[in-house]
Amino acid sequence: MTKKSGSTDQLITSIIKGIEEVKGNDISILDLREIENTVCDYFIICNGSSNTQVNAIVNSVEKTVGKETGDKPWHVEGSENAEWVLIDFVNIVVHVFQKHIREFYDIEGLWGDAKITEISSN
């Protein structure tokens, strides 16, 4: 278990670093492990100010994670319009939103039972 937990922690750290490198905003980690029937262990949610920044965040996350862990996303969805891009690392799903889309869908509200950790931006 420590190996898996260590690799999960390393993946989360790399994802956060990738988001921060291109100034992604309002980063939250939702721990879903205590909730039954979830599709993954964690959601990492952030937002950018435009479709250009959303795509930059997605590219930075993929590049940083690949370089630091060797992992690649299983699937990426939504890059075409870059309003809500989902990066699926199987046990961690990253949601990169434009701010108004994030507010509309309110993922944190939908998953209110999750333990939420806010990451303060540097």
Digit-coded pLDDT (tens) for 51-106:
999 999 999 999 999 999 999 999 999 999 999 999 999 999 999 999 999 999 99
For 48, residues 6+ apart whose C-beta sits below 8 A from its C-beta are 22, 24, 25, 54, 56, 57, 96, 97, 98, 99
- Are 11 and 89 in contact by the 8 Å Cβ rule? The answer is yes
Fold designation for 2-119: Beta Polymerase; domain 2 (3.30.460)
Predicted TM-score of the model (pTM): 0.93
Tokens of 117: 């950790």
